[in-house]
Amino acid sequence: MAFFGLIGNDRQMASTTYAGKESASEKRERVEARRRERHHRSVVEADRKGWKWADEERERQEGRGGRRGWFS
């Protein structure tokens, strides 16, 4: 039984019924690329915040004010 014409005509359906539609593998790749981009952006942001904190802490300890400011 041909099951209403759905079995055995995959190539024909792909060229007509699904023409112009995004495949599941293309969609998965697009979603994964977007996830990687967001992850990369958040990692860069966290790195910059860490360096900013380290610079401010170093300046606080070595530079402005406090007892060490008068004698160094």
- pLDDT, tens digit, for every residue of 22-61? 888 999 999 999 999 888 888 889 999 999 999 999 988 8
Higher pLDDT, 70 or 60: 60
12-31: average pLDDT: 85
As a whole number of angstroms, the distance between CA 14 and CA 16 comes to 6
Half-sphere exposure for 69 (CA within 13 Å, toward CB): 7
